[in-house]
Copies of this chain bind each other. A is one copy, B any other.
Amino acid sequence: MNSLYALIMAGGGGTRLWPLSRRNRPKQMLPLVEDRTMFQISVERLAPLLPPERIFVVTGADQVDALQASTPQLPPQNFVVEPYGMNTAPAVGLGTIHIQQQAPDAVIAVLTADQHIADKARLRRVLAAAGELATQGYIVTLGITPDFPATGYGYIQRGAPLAQVGEFQAYRADRFTEKPDLETALAFLQSGLYSWNSGMFIFRVEQIMAEYARQQPRLYSLLREIQAAVGRPDYQDVLHEKWPQMPKISIDYAVMEGAQNMAVIPVDMGWSDIGSWETLYDVLEHDPDGNAARGDGRGHIHLGTKKTLVYSNKRVVTIGVKDLIIVDTDDILFICRRDRSQDVREIVERLKAAGEDDLL
């Protein structure tokens, strides 16, 4: 089997966990579930599978210093810096050409930095299995078995069984569907044939570059021009010249949907993208009353309080409340009924409209 590398996508922003997640402090920089940040955990959970030298990170110029400082075990040169965030097709391409310089026959696992995975051992086993399948000529996606008819995720339809690899069954991936409407999502769920697209892909470098060349010739030639400059003194100049010319498209749309030999491995590993305060509440440990507390605070004292999430750096006292999200930051106090935590978007939009950029 070719050498397995990880390429962690750590450029994201996102305000669904506002007011904790902010423009300058995105989700992957937060210690949401454990005492380490999501990014740190996304690196550390690979440890028994991959040596640090084979873990690469794609991120933005504004985040790279903080991410490097938080993971001193990674070689600094493994951080591949986008001049600014585009979309996943250019980002994966940029990371891939850097790994290719070092290991032309690498198998790369594209991973995320802001998703919770409860069963880390199973993640490592499925990555090993997917790497094996990639060596055999497949572009492999990890599929998550849907819990509910989500309209915020992409879906992958499985086709014919391909192979059993270790404990995992791989299938042909017949179709990618980006965020469906509710009716479609319900039909997908009922059919039993669909997985959520986890955003995790495993492929041989050579094969993905061939797909870029075939499906995205413009993007491909820009990548090759940047690649030619890797290690040269004018690398930054070339990168900054070519980067703005990149098409802003996702890896799914640009490459995966039209790729040959796509496979999907459905895997149940306690995956959550923590897309809202409610889903964060779900993955946290609860006390017997269903309360969860996070933050560097002096704890949560409560009377008659149920199913409430408290995130604060000070002492929190609650009496007679239930089903609340309570998030206390330096400049904003946020209190929300748990089942309305998606409505935080409306608040963010209001603040944007009011020009209160310091709160975003």
Residues on A lying within 8 angstroms of B by beta carbon are 19, 301, 303-304, 312, 314-321, 324, 326, 328, 330-337, 339-341, 343-344, 346-347, 350-351, 359
Contact = CB atoms under 8 A, between A and B. Distances in A.
Contacts of A332: 314-317
A340 B304 contact: yes
Contacts of A351: 301
B317 A19 contact: yes
B316 A346 contact: no
A332 B315 CA distance: 5
B333 A301 contact: no
Given A301-B350, A303-B347, A326-B333, 15 more contacts: A301-B347, A303-B340, A303-B343, A304-B343, A314-B331, A317-B335, A317-B336, A318-B334, A318-B336, A319-B335, A320-B336, A321-B324, A321-B337, A324-B335, A333-B333
A343 B320 contact: yes
Given A320-B336, A337-B320, A340-B320, A346 B315 contact: no
A271 to B, nearest CB: 27
Contact of A359 (B19, B315, B326, B337): B315
Q: What number of copies of this chain does the assembly contain? A: 2
A335 B315 contact: no
B314 A333 contact: yes
Nearest to A344: B319
Which of A319, A332, A336 neighbours the largest number of chain B CB atoms within 10 Å of its CB?
A319
A313 to B, nearest CB: 10
Contacts of A331: 314-315
A332 B331 CA distance: 15
Given A301-B347, A303-B347, A335 B326 contact: yes
Contacts of A359: 315
A359 B316 CA distance: 11
In order of increasing CB-CB distance, the 4 nearest A-B pairs are A320-B337, A320-B340, A319-B336, A316-B333
A336 B320 CA distance: 6
A81 to B, nearest CB: 34
A343 B320 CA distance: 9
| Most interface-central of A301, A312, A350, A359 (chain B CB within 10 A) | A301
B315 A343 contact: no
8 contacts: A303-B347, A318-B336, A320-B337, A320-B339, A321-B336, A324-B335, A326-B333, A333-B333
A306 to B, nearest CB: 12
